[in-house]
Amino acid sequence: MDLAIVDTLALTMRNDGLGALENATIGVEDGEIAYVGTAESFDGDPDRTVDGAGTLTLPGLVNVHAHTGLTLLRGGAQDVPEIEWMNRALGPLAETMGDDDHVAGARLGVLEALLSGVTTMGEYAANVSRLVEEVYEPMGVRVVATETINAVAESTGDLGPDDPYPLDPVKGEDALERNEALFEEYADHDRVSAMYGPQALDMVSPELLAEIRSRAERHDRGVHMHVAQGDRERRQIEARYGDGETTVSVLEELGLVSDRLLAAHLHGASAAERRRLADAGVRMAACPSSIAAIDGITPPLCAFREAGGTVGIGTDQAPGPGGHDFLRELRTTALLSKTDRADPTAFPAREALRVATIEGARALGIDDEVGSLEVGKRADVAVLDLETPSTAPVVSEPLRTAIPNVVYGANAGLVGTVLVGGDVVVEDGAVTTVDEEGVLEKATARAEAVFSRAAADWRAADSRLVDRQ
């Protein structure tokens, strides 16, 4: 046996609960989990042992929706009205970024996520194959990669909120072919899989969506799309499709509403629409920190789960919520759900941990590989130190306080060891696959250059941020 984590409190996420095991051992061999059980029953002879005393071991966390390249713009688009955020705050900065800038931002974003116990990312980006090749593969992180299919013809900075975006069919078709190449390149890859990525209904034509739907059905592939994500999109849909039409109604007409669809956000959908989506098997990517920061709204993840839908959590992008620390995101999600419902029992800690692991894996369609500690699954594992000021004291009787203490008190500093496919990618709280200091230095240098190049256009866009500087 290659490795064993011993004497730990393990949350296996098997069946419908947490599957807690005291004094547990997790054995790993050839990239897979080979043993999950008590220390007394373990008879393996591991080459390496990780001392799990005082730790919580759980499946690697699953971040279902992220645009990590934009991490370079952290701090550049906060505290503005939703209608300004995309075109007047973020847009002037993002439009000056080159491919190397996105790579530097992604390295920083994935580094932050990895240090918070994330082993799988649902990455959503244009030219995403470059991020896979230069960031995810070298850093050893599992990724479900989605190519952004956007047919918007030109900068939208001068458009009013009710002016439909001009669409360029060639641009959209080129992006679809990049997406198709992604499926082909990583068809048999151990850590990389793919989904189709029409960015949003207001940014692609119905003809292009019909082609994506046809290909997804023909090849049994998933579609990852931003759906009903606020007032800006609502106004765009009515301008393009007519009064009374909504994102969900149009997607239903186009045949996109099915169990192939992973829908990000959904806070602009009605309660009846969300129930129809859940009934159809649509999965939800909830990004509470991002939507709180951009729209001032808590995404309806509790309502979607109550309707029978599957939900995963994503950090979205750093210029909105601030970053990709998934443990921080988990706490924010739990607390916002309670205030949204005016109910302190909403989204309790045990449900939060399931959504962060097995349900997130289910949302991405990879729960047969990861998301729980079970023999035969890939050895994606996170070990958290419980003997820290933010989580101690931890007791097991008459209740296990480790579970609420991690959800409400943990931070990235608790993560000691992370395995992806059995490989140690975080050891003693440090990433082993990349030079952390170098990542930070390069990101800072590139961010300074991007902000400098964008300064004139950013001021000309005249968001509320300009007056506050």
In a domain, 314, yes or no: yes
Across 422-441, b (16+ Cβ under 10 Å) vs e yields bbbbbeeeebebbeeeebee
**pLDDT digit string (tens) for 177-198?**
999 999 999 999 999 999 999 9
In a domain, 5, yes or no: no
**pLDDT digit string (tens) for 45-79?**
999 999 999 999 999 999 999 999 999 999 999 99
Angstrom CA distances, 334 to 9, 10, 296, 345, 409, stand at 22, 21, 16, 10, 12
Q: What angle do CA 224, 230, 232 make, to 5 degrees?
A: 105
Confidence of residue 15 (pLDDT cuts 50, 70, 90): confident
**What is the dihedral sign for C-alpha 291, 77, 102, 180?**
positive
In a domain, 302, yes or no: yes
In a domain, 427, yes or no: no
In a domain, 280, yes or no: yes
The number of distinct structural domains making up the chain is 1
- Residue span of the structural domain in which 256 resides: 61-363
In a domain, 455, yes or no: no
**pLDDT digit string (tens) for 145-182?**
999 999 998 765 566 778 888 899 999 999 999 999 99
pTM of the model: 0.96
In a domain, 374, yes or no: no
Q: What is the CATH number of the domain that holds 140?
A: 3.20.20.140
Question: Is pLDDT of 243 > 80?
Answer: yes
What pLDDT sits at residue 146? 98
In a domain, 192, yes or no: yes
Across 212-234, b (16+ Cβ under 10 Å) vs e yields bbebbeeeebbbbbbbbbbebbb
Mean pLDDT of 207-219: 97
